[in-house]
Chains A and B, each alone.
Chain A
């Protein structure tokens, strides 16, 4: 019941995302406003505002009286006066500028070796339903409220998806990913990066979305010529159910 509610959506926004906000936001706001004291800062009570105004007025009157008596606040000037001291300030400024200038772009960082290419495995694919859909009988439909009489009855939970990537016959990635969602009815997502030396490589990508261990549900085997620093994306077209390289 609760699981079903959480898995539903309101105006396209999944309840799963809304519930934590509804629960935690008041708690966070309570902590911020009452414990941290943000409430008193942002929305001070009326008497505090009145008190501040009165205090400000008193302070101004006090300062005014002192001004009239020629006693207004005189801060001793502690700033450097001599040009020699100003000149002596140059080295610290220069040192700070050097530190700023240098570390804003040095030392260099090699993120990716220049003679290597990058294979990005980025796909999002829902596994098959754990229980296949079946057509409801007339009796079953009659028992349901009118607004819920969909002809097909489908289980929500899907199989985890297994993806395997082989480069030149060597397995560089093989992992199951669970479906997203509390009811495990979403897509399984993969986002992985592999650096390979530039040149020709034989790629073999296999997907299993039916709960098995063999990656034979979808397969793509192709030889690719990768240039240095090239980024090759391995993805899955959901519309025509095929693995693609781009």
Chain B
């Protein structure tokens, strides 16, 4: 399964690397597909409210009211109409890309199943919202889409009379039925919004808004598109004739030619089959992950840092149960835990400066305990120090660049499930006496942490902006942060080489300073990860 994903991941990573240049890691649209879908929903909602003010809800006048907006009031009504259409189209594109990306990077199985699963009804209601909107224009495209939709529903046989009979002849479509269609177009997006809310409920600190710059750029793009290619109607609907040549909105109407070709039964089979397949993907096959994090109560002081940092809300706080003089204690819900270890990195008791039999932390991964992390660090440091020249320890994660393939003389690595598992005290430890000469912290690509918040918390901790922070005594010039995705081996190699040169220069400068009794260059170099307390 993962092998099948590999080339697709490479394609995405390549594209994202290209987009990283002008947009930067945070604004990169590929990493913001979900938030962009939310944004386009709001654009469609706001423009839809304006359109509704000018829209005439009768069958006879609906078309003319839209023509008025498009041509007479093109400067506002026309733009709003085009924004409404293109934002809806953009939502389909971004939702599809968001879904594809989560699938390709395997971010939908195990505890993420709920988010994935609720994406399926989102697709259904997104399509219901979009298609029902096209009915209201009441042009020939609306006639085609409305009749097709009703014929499709009629196949179920749940209506006494075929609903398509409402569109049989001139005059058979009543204002009453048309009003029903309007209500469908209002209620479907409301339900869509409700499910979108459910969709992000299980994610801690969900991001539903894109960065402001990206949102503004996207809005500007839509406005320019609305001016360059305004949305227009077909000829008015006429139930005495049948539509012939149509300009379909393929984002929403891809299935209508399929319907014409295969018939309603086959399309129902296709729609339900695909929906079931997508919904069941998290279990095809289920993800086998290590055991969930566990709290060691006698080490937990209820500081809430693991609770604050967990990206999936797996850690909650509850009143103390062991009678110790703390208000709360952490508790892990194994059903929500991804075993990323971010909580371990957040725990103030996760320190390597302890005797081996005392190396127990407040919250730990049973399959990858802190003692094992320290043993890995020790082994890697020892290995790096074997060679001549500066020794470098690279600490990476299971989802970013493969740090092992970058080991060489003087360079050794240790991998964690997520870089967020790295307690800053381990950097202090690794660069301390008998430690490595330098340390490179890497992980996934910037702003693309597999475990969502690992990179963010690590940066904050190193910058002294989030507990537990990196101690002031740690020489920043011997620490380098280089985020690198799986395909960014060259970037990491270049960083290693550059860092090796910097460390050599540092060592020489420090040796010279010792000889002359002067000051070290260390204080003059730029800290790698900002200042700290």
A binding-site residues for B, Cβ under 8 Å:
17, 36-38, 41, 51, 54-55, 58-59, 62, 71-76, 78-80, 85-86, 88-89, 92-94, 96-97, 99-101, 103-106, 108-114, 117-118, 120, 122, 124, 180, 186, 189, 191, 229-231, 233, 235, 246
- Do the beta carbons of B225 and A97 come within 8 Å of each other? yes
Residues of B within 8 A of A73 (CB): 460, 465-466
Which B residues fall within an 8 A CB radius of A? 19, 21-27, 29, 85-86, 89-90, 93, 114, 117, 144, 151, 154, 157-158, 160-162, 164-165, 168-169, 198, 201-202, 211, 213, 217-218, 220-222, 224-225, 228-229, 231, 239-251, 256-257, 260, 304, 307-308, 316-318, 328, 446-447, 456, 459-460, 463-466, 530, 533
| 21 examples of A-B residue contacts, CB within 8 angstroms | A36-B117, A54-B317, A55-B307, A59-B304, A76-B459, A78-B26, A79-B213, A100-B89, A100-B90, A100-B225, A104-B86, A105-B249, A109-B245, A111-B245, A112-B243, A124-B162, A229-B242, A229-B244, A230-B241, A231-B239, A235-B168
Kindly list chain B residues whose C-beta atoms are within 8 Å of the C-beta of A94: 221
CB neighbours (8 Å) of A108 from chain B are 245-248
Q: When chains A and B are docked, how far (Å) is the Cα of A121 from the Cα of B189? A: 35
A106-B247, A109-B257, A229-B244 known; A99-B86 Cβ under 8 A: no
Bound Cα distance A233, B239 (Å): 10
Q: Of B24, B162, B241, B328, which one neighbours A79 at CB under 8 angstroms?
A: B24
Cα distance, A36 to B247, chains bound together (Å):
41
Chain A residues within 8 Å of B460, by CB: 73-75
Contact indicator B22/A233 (Cβ below 8 Å): no
Cα A37 to Cα B114 with chains together (Å) = 9
Q: Are A55 and B316 in contact (CB under 8 A)?
A: yes
Q: Which residues of B contact A230 (CB under 8 A)?
A: 240-242
The one of A41, A79, A186, A229 that contacts B27, using a Cβ cutoff of 8 Å:
A79
Give the shortest distance, in Å, between B28 (CB) and chain A (any CB).
10
Contact of B23 among A89, A103, A191 (CB under 8 A): A89
Shortest A160–chain B CB gap in Å is: 15
- Residues of chain B lying within 8 A (CB to CB) of residue A85: 21-24
State the CA gap A101–B247 with chains docked (Å): 12
Alpha-carbon distance between A58 and B240 when the two chains are bound, in angstroms: 68
Residues A71 and B217 in contact in the complex (CB < 8 Å), given A41-B201, A231-B239? no
Alpha-carbon distance A41/B318, docked complex (angstroms): 18
The chain B residue sitting closest to A37, CB to CB, is B114
Bound Cα distance A118, B168 (Å)? 12
Check B465 against A74 for contact (C-beta < 8 Å).
Answer: yes
Q: Which A residues touch B249, using CB under 8 A?
A: 103-105
Beyond A229-B241, A229-B244, whether A74 also contacts B151 by CB under 8 A is no
